[in-house]
Structure 1
């Protein structure tokens, strides 16, 4: 079991350090990206929703619920996320500098994957979808089709 408060404090500290570095070196960006954002997002979601994380780079899903639902976690600081395959369920978040996150989408992966239907696979093997589109899709997800946050989470 992780210490939720300590985890949030460390993420907040990380983003505070990024801000200080950017003030020290105007015009330079120190935004965490790539694996770091993905790992932070996976841990934030696993903590908030009571999920069991799989090993890093597990193909097709990052965590499972107590009932065995496979969940692909997508985290970003930008305005889109990318998918390589259709997940069983997906939770997409936007990480905020204070160590919290905004839930963008929480629902069946098929609803997201449907957006790529009849589109050619991009050369990098990943379909991009905007957070705006995901927010709109999220509005159509029924409560019973969402993974509920664990009690005591944000």
Structure 2
């Protein structure tokens, strides 16, 4: 186990050196940080400083973008606001990005209005299939 952890930390250290605007912590931020960097390489967006309030990037025409990333079957959407622009992606096992949703956050926000309960963690969970239907 010690050797495996050391290898993981070495990978994190390499990522931090290559992309110094992200921390790539193993305690829950790793997938999100990787997704943000991959999206910046694929889309015409510029990343904001790490952990900026509500947004992760800005488009070349000035729109603010919230990026959500998964390696599972669902993505989160904020319950307390509707992002100007929402980019939801899934990282595939080959390291490529599958676009799940790329558009105004208002589209998802409006679709969630039918939900009665407000999530305790302030994040709605939506299946990839549902987000693709809204696309």
TM-score above 0.5, yes or no: yes
Counterpart selection for 1:116 from 105, 112, 119: 112
Inter-CA distance 122–62: structure 2 relative to 1 (3 Å threshold) = same
Q: After superposition, where does 1:26-37 map in structure 2 within 5 Å? A: 34-37=28-31
- Asked if 1:101 is matched to 2:90, the reply is no
**C-alpha RMSD over aligned residues:** 1.8
Bigger fraction of residues in strand = 2
Deviations 1:44-88 (A, max 9, x none): 111111211011121221100111011111110111111223110
- Asked if 1:74 is matched to 2:71, the reply is no
SS in 1 for 2:95: coil
Q: For residue 33 of structure 1, report the CA deviation from its aligned partner.
A: 7.4
* Aligned position for 2:56: 62
Q: What is the TM-score of this pair, normalised by structure 1?
A: 0.65
- In the alignment, the residues of structure 2 paired with residue 50 and residue 33 of structure 1 have an alpha-carbon distance, to the nearest angstrom, of 28
- In the alignment, the residues of structure 1 paired with residue 92 and residue 102 of structure 2 have an alpha-carbon distance, to the nearest angstrom, of 17
- In the alignment, the residues of structure 2 paired with residue 33 and residue 132 of structure 1 have an alpha-carbon distance, to the nearest angstrom, of 27
- In the alignment, the residues of structure 1 paired with residue 86 and residue 44 of structure 2 have an alpha-carbon distance, to the nearest angstrom, of 15
Q: Return 5+ residue gaps in structure 1 as ranges.
A: 1-13, 18-31, 139-154
Q: What is the TM-score of this pair, normalised by structure 2?
A: 0.74
- Asked if 1:130 is matched to 2:127, the reply is yes
Deviations 1:96-134 (A, max 9, x none): 121211111111100011122143211111111110100
- In the alignment, the residues of structure 1 paired with residue 35 and residue 128 of structure 2 have an alpha-carbon distance, to the nearest angstrom, of 15
